[in-house]
Chain A
Amino acid sequence: MGHAAHGDHPPLTENNSLGVPNLKLAMWTLLGGECMFFGSLIATYFFYKDKSLSGPIPTDIFSIEITTISTFLLLMSSVTMAFAVDRMKTKQAGQAKLFLAATAIMGATFVGFQVYEFSHFAHMGLGLGTNLFGSSFYVMTGFHGAHVTVGVIWLTALIGFIHSGRIEPGRYLPVELTGLYWHFVDLVWIVIFTFVYLLEFAK
């Protein structure tokens, strides 16, 4: 039962019958659960968005410009994330850190745009408790934004760990796991972008 020098290092050992890294199994399980989590928030939004009795409705306040920029940001951040994982695999830690930083910066900018959008909506009269549209919209996109924020903090910590040598070059599993989380966050945004925003503009 020989394990290679690259890939996972001790004390991370595969003590499961599948022989897969426990952490990766756990990450995929988390993401599966998150599918149901965001699925229910999105479904609730669809159910409630046109049933408000008063207050702003989607077509009153949605802006395609902000949303488009946000979408491109997150999409590009997924590309740089993939680059980062790739660079860790080929043992180029310096470049990996750069790509992780680019990912984190784009993610942080995305969150910035979300904060701007939320405050803009609030000024136009849409609060969390204003109407059904407001509550379902803010909870859905708020949780997504929170996930992006957690991801940015995670990426920053990861850069630090690589920089300090705590993660050796060639041990790409931590970066890969970060990538899985980050791509999922992008995936949720793809769904929200199309089904929440674009469908409103398609009316």
Chain B
Amino acid sequence: MRDDDRRPRGRFAPEDAEEAALRRLLAEAGPRPPLAEDDVERLAAATREALHRRAGPSAAPAAGEGPGAAGARSARLPTARAGRRWGGASNPRRAVWLPLAALLALALGIGAWWALSRGAGAAPVARVEAVRGTLTANATEGDSPLAAGAVVERGTRLCTTGGKSGARLRLAGGVELRLDGDTCVRAEAGERVALLRGGLYADTGAAGGSRGAALAVDTPFGTVRDVGTRFAVRLLAAGVAVAVREGAVLVGDGHRAEAGEGLLLGRDGTVERRAVPPWGPEWSWVVETAGGFAIEGRTLADFLDWSVRESGWHLRYADAGLAAEAEGIVLHGDLGALRPDEAPFVVLPGAGLEGRLDDGVLIVSRPARR
């Protein structure tokens, strides 16, 4: 069944007065002159930084822009104050200096966690990696706020409160789970959660997780099962909406959604599909809850891989030589509070390169001569 313009076809199909006026306005104005997207992105990054500063001292500042290059094969960013991006326990630079005793305690804690997770009863099934805003655990003994590092037991209901809240968890099965604001899940097992309200994002291939780790998300409208993938699930009044960034998921009675697809499983069992690009505003909250990336000593290629993975972009180098060079450029500094989709436009100029975003593709090139 063709789903096209509802009006009669043809060059002289009638249109109403409003459309005619709009057409005249746009025709008279002509196309928008293209802008240098890296300039726009820089201004957008500066805008976000200014908004963070307005928010108060609890917001970690961005690393700034326009870094100077420290040499042909290294790029240095201005070191930011207090390197935490948001509410997270992980500050990669600070982690290096943990005392040995603390490291041993951490190792023992993880070992105990794994040992316990194999048993039945109130066994730990997840660990909180980062919290923004408020995350509470609704266990049998009542509500309690959770911070990064907390261990979540089987059967615990976790809720983020407020639209600005978010959390990142690591399930015992290795899957990374991110919770949007105003979201509640129940941790059923190391590889199973129930989505009670709001939306979650799952990455079964994130660092520390095993490729192909399974995850099942129970919803009132059916279970979403991953097939080694990254995807988001959101409960709506009309049903459950799934969007797949990578891999595939099975929803309900075997409805399959692949990367770049969205699927709405309605209350009445109907299925609606739509295209969902792996990047863009739909994934903004997911990008916001991503973990940080310690660039000190890492290559530009590694950094760009992280950035495009978290942003849902593809990466393209303007020439083959650049791709090889990126493997040899070593970065220094700290990204601070820069998001994965902001950081390239700060880091690349420091490496003497430019980045431009074109329809979901990050194009890395050498600067044009003026």
Are A and B associated in one complex? no
